[in-house]
Chain A
């Protein structure tokens, strides 16, 4: 479990709005993901968590900082070109909205086999169609779906197809950007179980972007908390939920609704004032494996 698969160092991404205004969507974010773990990145809308995912996948080019994937700096054009095939096959992304991320005019079999066709990978199981059938079975769907189109599938099914497509490349790192946010409760549970199965039985490594903390708590090994482009706290899941240190983390955790009327009504959310948020500071290790953003980097 100790090999570091993804090492993000001082990642900064700015969006230029016009000549004067610049938004720091991601500001000096550093974290590591070990092989075989599920790393959750949580935050509210606009916190920059999706931007991190996109930088990791080379969708955006970061303004500064390094992203080392298996020791290759993916932000460096020369290193990227030299390792292009490896980078494009072993990292895969799953998006929130499977309605728009799957081509509506392709059949399920074609969608799943497309990455293999693009990279000219010889299918292990004979034909591309066999491969698609295998992957579909892997995510819990039978072969009768092979010739269906995305519009004929339900949201949960579509998300499974998106996962099957990502798995067809036998990736080592799966980036899932809010993969369950648009699904119904009972379907969410199915997809969460699938992710858990993939990680436990097959050792996939996940970067799991989410805003629903109860899901993150259930699924992730370690969690990073982002607010306004800053990573403010990183800790093992149990440690983070039992002993949150940063005021924003406390506010976020206290806001999780509990499906239990008596306790939910007794709960008072911990208020966090974004205006007083201290951007400066650096991550310091407050407890073993538990990093928190503090000013000056010193003790409390």
Chain B
């Protein structure tokens, strides 16, 4: 048996990861600075308009904006490696502190949303596969296709109109009531609408994938043999088919994490939910460079990390992939005959 050296394997993965983050940071840094706009506005507010040129130069120097971009980048990188990501121009505090105050909200929205999507799409997919071709399956398929086509921002607005403006059952935005205590009930109430939009936006895509993969598996020969040995349809579907669909599903779900997160950014903005999404939007809008950089890298890290996790899941979970080398050698020498 030939086994890969795990240190080498993960070492190489980590190296690729760091390299990607470095490239990402440089790209984000340059693009942000080349974009039109005045970063001083976010720091000094309206005062900028009344500044004299020499005051302006001093202000730029104070924020380190006068040097060429590559020098600025090296400076930023040196600071970042020591854990100093600079201050937010808008909030005048350490960037990490600003983000720390918001990240929890996004994690609640995105995390719970992800778990819901994961579970519901599995259940819905199984339900449809079980009822393949019957009316239940057909109705769910039609409904699913329609909901997955509705843009999130539009759905958000419609839901706000119905439930917040007309019916007044639910709050229209924010994470908790103004001046409220932020108790669990209050927060949950504020989460209902954004959560609904996040889940509905992604649910059917994954449920439909599960359904079709299951049906594809159900046509495989081993299913015929499993039925021939007397297994019930339920057991064949749940044990045999589901098991073979899971690796693909898990890796797709891992890739979906950044996707769902990206969806929450839009949802957050529409619902003015104080999370990373709204913060990113603001930082880009106000040229809050330091904040933007960290948010960019944070999102990038999530994307890269989960793609890698997906890849590792794919390689680990399927026994054929796990010992791909052994397969080949066995085939050739015909071990065991």
Asked whether, in the complex, the Cβ of B334 is within 8 Å of the Cβ of A21, the reply is no
Among residues 280 to 337 in chain B, which have CB atoms less than 8 Å away from a CB atom of chain A?
325, 328-329, 331-334, 337
B2 at interface by CB-CB < 8 Å? yes
Query: How many Å from the CB of B80 to the closest CB on chain A?
Result: 37
The CA-CA distance from A17 to B334 in the complex, in Å, is 16
Residues of A within 8 A of B337 (CB): 274
Enumerate chain B interface residues (CB-CB to A < 8 A).
2, 325, 328-329, 331-334, 337
Query: How many Å from the CB of A61 to the closest CB on chain B?
Result: 20
Asked whether, in the complex, the Cβ of B331 is within 8 Å of the Cβ of A21, the reply is no
Among residues 206 to 244 in chain A, which have CB atoms less than 8 Å away from a CB atom of chain B?
228
Asked whether, in the complex, the Cβ of A23 is within 8 Å of the Cβ of B328, the reply is yes
Q: How large is the interface on A (under 10, 10 to 19, 20 to 34, 35 or more residues)?
A: under 10
Chain B residue nearest to A15 (CB atoms) is: B328
Residues of B within 8 A of A18 (CB): 2, 325
A-B contact count (CB 8 A): 22
Question: Which one of A20, A23, A25, A274 lies within 8 Å of B2 (CB-CB)?
Answer: A20
Asked whether, in the complex, the Cβ of A23 is within 8 Å of the Cβ of B325, the reply is no
Asked whether, in the complex, the Cβ of B328 is within 8 Å of the Cβ of A274, the reply is no
Asked whether, in the complex, the Cβ of A46 is within 8 Å of the Cβ of B2, the reply is no
* Given known A18-B2, A20-B2, A21-B2, contact A46–B328 (CB-CB < 8 A): no
Asked whether, in the complex, the Cβ of B325 is within 8 Å of the Cβ of A46, the reply is no
Query: How many Å from the CB of A14 to the closest CB on chain B?
Result: 11
The CA-CA distance from A20 to B1 in the complex, in Å, is 11
Residues of A within 8 A of B329 (CB): 17, 21, 23
Enumerate chain A interface residues (CB-CB to B < 8 A).
17-18, 20-21, 23, 25, 46, 228, 274
* Given known A18-B2, A20-B2, A21-B2, contact A274–B334 (CB-CB < 8 A): yes
The CA-CA distance from A21 to B333 in the complex, in Å, is 12
Residues of B within 8 A of A23 (CB): 328-329, 332
The CA-CA distance from A46 to B332 in the complex, in Å, is 6
Residues of A within 8 A of B334 (CB): 46, 274
Chain B residue nearest to A229 (CB atoms) is: B332
The CA-CA distance from A20 to B332 in the complex, in Å, is 15
A-B contact pairs, 22 of them (CB 8 A): A17-B325, A17-B328, A17-B329, A18-B2, A18-B325, A20-B2, A21-B2, A21-B325, A21-B328, A21-B329, A23-B328, A23-B329, A23-B332, A25-B332, A46-B331, A46-B332, A46-B334, A228-B332, A228-B333, A274-B333, A274-B334, A274-B337
The CA-CA distance from A20 to B329 in the complex, in Å, is 11
Q: Which of A17, A46, A228 has the most CB of B within 10 A?
A: A17
Residues of B within 8 A of A20 (CB): 2
Residues of B within 8 A of A274 (CB): 333-334, 337
The CA-CA distance from A82 to B334 in the complex, in Å, is 42
Chain A residue nearest to B331 (CB atoms) is: A46
Query: How many Å from the CB of A255 to the closest CB on chain B?
Result: 13
The CA-CA distance from A23 to B331 in the complex, in Å, is 10
Chain A residue nearest to B334 (CB atoms) is: A274
Residues of B within 8 A of A228 (CB): 332-333
Chain B residue nearest to A25 (CB atoms) is: B332
Chain B residue nearest to A273 (CB atoms) is: B337
The CA-CA distance from A46 to B331 in the complex, in Å, is 8
Query: How many Å from the CB of B315 to the closest CB on chain A?
Result: 13
Query: How many Å from the CB of B155 to the closest CB on chain A?
Result: 41
Chain A residue nearest to B327 (CB atoms) is: A17
Residues of B within 8 A of A21 (CB): 2, 325, 328-329
Given A46-B334, A274-B333, output 9 extra A-B contacts at Cβ < 8 Å.
A17-B329, A18-B325, A21-B329, A23-B329, A25-B332, A228-B332, A228-B333, A274-B334, A274-B337
The CA-CA distance from A48 to B325 in the complex, in Å, is 19
The CA-CA distance from A23 to B328 in the complex, in Å, is 9
Chain B residue nearest to A274 (CB atoms) is: B334
The CA-CA distance from A274 to B332 in the complex, in Å, is 11
Query: How many Å from the CB of A279 to the closest CB on chain B?
Result: 12
The CA-CA distance from A57 to B337 in the complex, in Å, is 33
Residues of A within 8 A of B2 (CB): 18, 20-21
Query: How many Å from the CB of A182 to the closest CB on chain B?
Result: 17
Chain B residue nearest to A23 (CB atoms) is: B332
Query: How many Å from the CB of A272 to the closest CB on chain B?
Result: 10
